[in-house]
Structure 1
Amino acid sequence: MSLRARIFRRERIDRYLETDKHFAKTMSAVDLISLGIGAVIGTGIFILPGTVAATKAGPGIILSFIVAAVVCSTAAMCYAEFASAIPVAGSAYSYGNLVYGEIVGWVLGWALILEYVLAVAAVSSAWGAYFKSFMRGFGVNIPAAIVGAFDPAQKEFGNWFAIIIVVLISLMLAHGMRTSVRLNNIIVFVKIAIILLFIVVGAFYVKPTNWHPFTPYGVHGVFAGASAVFFAYLGFDAVSSSAAEVKNPKRNMPVGIIGTLIITTVLYVGVSIVLTGMISYKDLNVADPVSFALQFVHQNWIAGIISLGALAGMFTMMVTMIYSSSRLIYSIGRDGLLPKFLGKLDSKGLPKNALITITIVISIMGGFVPLDQLTNLVNIGTLIAFLFVSFGIIPLRHNKEIENDQGFEVPFYPVLPIISGLLCIFMLTQLQAETWIASLIWFAFGLILYFSYGMKHSRLNNPDEIEHD
């Protein structure tokens, strides 16, 4: 068999379904939406509407969020169709293996590892710093030596609170999805309640004159703002990782993915309307615009609650991403492209080996590695996955082995999937050159790993397996 034929062999849907049937199916559409909101709504909702309004869009930030949501909705519908038709673990990694071939699936999996690990490591580091600031408000001073960069010369020995929060979340997930989802749902509810509290209280201090002029930077400013806030929506794709653990995935997966996007858009737009109405957009270019606006109208007590909402936002984001990354690592191990012990489920139907492994990696990076210059790589990993999932709808529809009876289908096929893919290409062109250089190094390392280990140990390389060309 030629090298090209070997690396582009495709997996079979029945084999994935057979392997993943051992997962406990406990999750409902509400649970999926909660996971999605947990991933998408983080501290950004308290920062982006203000800073982007001040620097790019003015009150037109309201339209920017809507435009960004419309763009994201094209990719969201593509994910919804894949998750409905292929209810297996692994998200874009598994989809790539099924419709493109193993090498593309590996690249997508490698891109998602980049997205999940860096995102959680960066947020855990920020959580530790934010927790230190939060506790200072109660008169508790946490030593900088255990909540900072790893620099023994400066008597700083890592961000141990970042490590602790990651380990605690992983222990929660290891206890079982039913308990984990219940706790996550409660914290997401608290987070939404805090956001709604700001919207309701802030509405009493809105001055319509602050919305004039509505688009001080013109239509160009609205689209520049949309480009800036587009990445605030990333995370809904992580919902698709849970497909193997969902009850009635044909119905619940599309509801979870698209429902996440709708609810998060309403929350982003609501905060933008109130924030730009409370105070002139010109004054919002500060580190914490929502708290600043509340202090401006002498509502300091709510500003304190917002800090709690920020901690909750970071917590639920980490829950979803650690959960999704463990399912991704399990999927790659299941296929033999990473050591096969990672693809094993325990007696509870949980990928505990994958969860332990990803916890160790994230803890080390969040606790000891400075990530300031690497977080932009999260965006490129996500967009590459979006790109292949969008265009992948076309081969999915032509794959006779994959049936999607009564499941969700992207409307206006094939126009909308093509538009979604082209939009992803456009967003990729907006990333900085440094991001591209770092990502090329990451993917080069990934390809070396695939050709030196993955291809040899792939279960598709077993001659007893039926080839699927």
Structure 2
Amino acid sequence: MSLGSRIFRKEKIDRYLETDKKFGKTMTAVDLISLGIGAVIGTGIFILPGTVAATKAGPAIILSFILAAIVCSTAAMCYAEFASALPVAGSAYSYGNLVFGEVIGWVLGWALILEYVLAVAAVSSAWGAYLKSFLAGFHLNIPAAIVGPFDPAKGTYGNWIAVLVVIAISLMLNHGVHSSVRINNFIVLVKIAIIILFIVVGAFFVKPSHWQPFYAFGGSGVLHGAAAVFFAYLGFDAVSSSAAEVKNPRKNMPIGIIGTLVIATILYVGVSIVLTGMVSYTKLNVADPVAFAMNLVNQNWTAGIISLGALAGMFTMMVTMIYSSSRLIYSIGRDGLLPKFLGKLDKKGTPKNSMITITIVIAFMGGFVPLDQLTNLVNIGTLIAFLFVSIGIIPLRKNKDIDNSKGFQVPFYPVLPIISALLCVLMLTQLQAETWIASAVWFAFGLILYFSYGVKHSRLNTQE
């Protein structure tokens, strides 16, 4: 068999289902929405509505969030159909293997590794710094030496708080998905309650005059604002990684993915309406616009609670992404493209080896590697996965081995998947040249790894 034929061989859905059946199926639609909200709603909800309103959209930031959600929903529906039709671990990586062939699946998996690892590493680093600032308000001081960059010459020895929170989340997840999901659900509820608290309290201080002029930057401001906040919605795709552990995935996966987007949109729009009504948009270009608005109307106690909400937001985001990345690494190890010990499940049906491996990588990067210039790579990894999942609906429908006639299907096929793919390409063109160069290096390294190790050890190519 030629190399070209080998790398484009497609996996069989029955083989994936057989391998993944060892996972315990404990998750419900509510659990999935909680995971999704945990990933999508982070500190951005307390920052973006203010800064983007001040610099790009004015009060029309409300419409920017709605427009960005509509754009994102096209990809969400494509994910929902894949998750309904193919209830397996690995998200876009496994989908790529099934409908495009192994090498495309590998590229998508490599893109998702980039997304998950960098996202969690960056947030864990920020969480450590944010916790230090939060505790300082109670006169509890964490030494700067353990919450800074690794620079011994200046007396800082890494962000050990970031390392510890990643390890703590990993231990929680390794203890069992069912108990971990319950803890995550509780923290997500606390986070949502804090957001609702801001909306309810802030509503008493809204002045309709602050919404004038509504289109402060013209109609183009709405579009520029939508482009800026589009990335706030990314993260719902992580829900699809859990498909192998979900009760009735054909029904619950679409509810989890689309439900996440709907609830996130309501929360983002709600915060935008109240924030721009409380304070003139011209004053919101500050580091913490929501807390700033509360302090401005002498609601300092609410500002303190919002800081707690920001910590909760970052924590649940890390829970979802560490969980998803462990399932992704498991899936790639399951197929032999990474060492096969990563594709093993323990007696509890947990991918312990992949969890330990990804924890070490993320903890090291969050604690000791400066990530300021690399976080934009999260966006490119996500958009590439979105692009292929959108296009992939067409070969998915044509695959006679996959029957999804009773599951969720993208409406207006094939128009909507094509529109989704074109929107992803449009968003990719908005990324900086530096981001493309850095990602090219990452994908080149990934292809070297695939052709030097993956092709030789692939389960698909070593059987039969």
Q: Report whether the alignment pairs 1:110 with 2:110.
A: yes
| Further displaced range: 399-408 or 26-35 | 399-408
Kindly report which structure 2 residues correspond to 1:39-54, keeping only aligned pairs within 5 A, or say none.
39-54=39-54
**Residues 86-144 of structure 1 deviation map (CA, whole Å, 9 limit, x = unaligned):** 00000000000000000000000000000000000000000000000011011111110
How far apart, in 1, do the equivalents of 2:328 and 2:426 lie? Answer: 27
Which letter maps to 2:64? Answer: S
Q: Report whether the alignment pairs 1:82 with 2:52.
A: no
How far apart, in 1, do the equivalents of 2:209 and 2:281 lie? Answer: 11
How far apart, in 2, do the equivalents of 1:374 and 1:463 lie? Answer: 39
Equivalent residue, structure 2, for 1:342: 342
How far apart, in 1, do the equivalents of 2:436 and 2:31 lie? Answer: 35
Equivalent residue, structure 1, for 2:426: 426
The secondary structure found in structure 1 opposite 2:148 is strand
Equivalent residue, structure 2, for 1:397: 397
Equivalent residue, structure 2, for 1:4: 4
| Further displaced range: 442-451 or 3-12 | 3-12
How far apart, in 1, do the equivalents of 2:34 and 2:95 lie? Answer: 23
Equivalent residue, structure 2, for 1:413: 413
Which letter maps to 1:319? Answer: V
Deviation at 1:451, TM superposition (A): 0.2
Deviation at 1:442, TM superposition (A): 0.1
How far apart, in 2, do the equivalents of 1:365 and 1:451 lie? Answer: 26
Equivalent residue, structure 1, for 2:262: 262
Kindly report which structure 2 residues correspond to 1:141-290, keeping only aligned pairs within 5 A, or say none.
141-290=141-290
Equivalent residue, structure 2, for 1:306: 306
Equivalent residue, structure 2, for 1:372: 372
Deviation at 1:457, TM superposition (A): 0.2
Deviation at 1:58, TM superposition (A): 0.1
Equivalent residue, structure 1, for 2:17: 17
**Residues 316-356 of structure 1 deviation map (CA, whole Å, 9 limit, x = unaligned):** 00000000000000000000000000000000000000000
How far apart, in 2, do the equivalents of 1:196 and 1:216 lie? Answer: 27
**Residues 378-431 of structure 1 deviation map (CA, whole Å, 9 limit, x = unaligned):** 000000000000000000000000111310000000000000000000000000
How far apart, in 1, do the equivalents of 2:7 and 2:278 lie? Answer: 57
**Residues 435-461 of structure 1 deviation map (CA, whole Å, 9 limit, x = unaligned):** 000000000000000000001000011
Which letter maps to 1:329? Answer: I
Equivalent residue, structure 2, for 1:453: 453
Which letter maps to 1:402? Answer: I
Deviation at 1:282, TM superposition (A): 0.2
Q: How well do the aligned residues superpose, as a CA RMSD in angstroms?
A: 0.4
Equivalent residue, structure 2, for 1:467: none
Equivalent residue, structure 1, for 2:59: 59
The secondary structure found in structure 1 opposite 2:157 is strand
Equivalent residue, structure 2, for 1:135: 135
Kindly report which structure 2 residues correspond to 1:23-38, keeping only aligned pairs within 5 A, or say none.
23-38=23-38
Deviation at 1:3, TM superposition (A): 1.4
The secondary structure found in structure 1 opposite 2:410 is coil
Which letter maps to 2:429? Answer: T
Equivalent residue, structure 2, for 1:98: 98
Deviation at 1:463, TM superposition (A): 4.1
How far apart, in 1, do the equivalents of 2:338 and 2:321 lie? Answer: 20
Deviation at 1:2, TM superposition (A): 1.5
How far apart, in 2, do the equivalents of 1:150 and 1:215 lie? Answer: 45
Equivalent residue, structure 2, for 1:330: 330
How far apart, in 2, do the equivalents of 1:141 and 1:462 lie? Answer: 56
Which letter maps to 2:313? Answer: G
The secondary structure found in structure 1 opposite 2:435 is helix
Segments of structure 2 that go 5 or more residues without pairing to the other structure are: none
How far apart, in 1, do the equivalents of 2:412 and 2:80 lie? Answer: 15
Deviation at 1:153, TM superposition (A): 0.6
**Residues 50-104 of structure 1 deviation map (CA, whole Å, 9 limit, x = unaligned):** 0000000000000000000000000000000000000000000000000000000
How far apart, in 1, do the equivalents of 2:2 and 2:349 lie? Answer: 38
Equivalent residue, structure 2, for 1:320: 320
Q: What percentage of aligned pairs have identical amino acids?
A: 81
How far apart, in 2, do the equivalents of 1:395 and 1:153 lie? Answer: 56
How far apart, in 1, do the equivalents of 2:3 and 2:314 lie? Answer: 44
Equivalent residue, structure 2, for 1:384: 384
Could you say if the C-alpha distance between residues 305 and 463 of structure 1 is closer, same or farther in structure 2, counting changes exceeding 3 Å? Answer: closer
How many residue pairs get matched? 464
The secondary structure found in structure 1 opposite 2:150 is strand
**Residues 287-321 of structure 1 deviation map (CA, whole Å, 9 limit, x = unaligned):** 00000000000000000000000000000000000
Structure 1 runs (4+) greater than 6 angstroms displaced: none
How far apart, in 2, do the equivalents of 1:360 and 1:321 lie? Answer: 14
The secondary structure found in structure 1 opposite 2:141 is coil
**Residues 161-197 of structure 1 deviation map (CA, whole Å, 9 limit, x = unaligned):** 0000000000000000110000000000000000000
How far apart, in 2, do the equivalents of 1:279 and 1:138 lie? Answer: 28
| Further displaced range: 1-10 or 346-355 | 1-10
Q: Give the alignment's TM-score, normalised by structure 1.
A: 0.99
Segments of structure 1 that go 5 or more residues without pairing to the other structure are: 465-469
The secondary structure found in structure 2 opposite 1:157 is strand
The secondary structure found in structure 2 opposite 1:397 is helix
How far apart, in 2, do the equivalents of 1:90 and 1:447 lie? Answer: 19
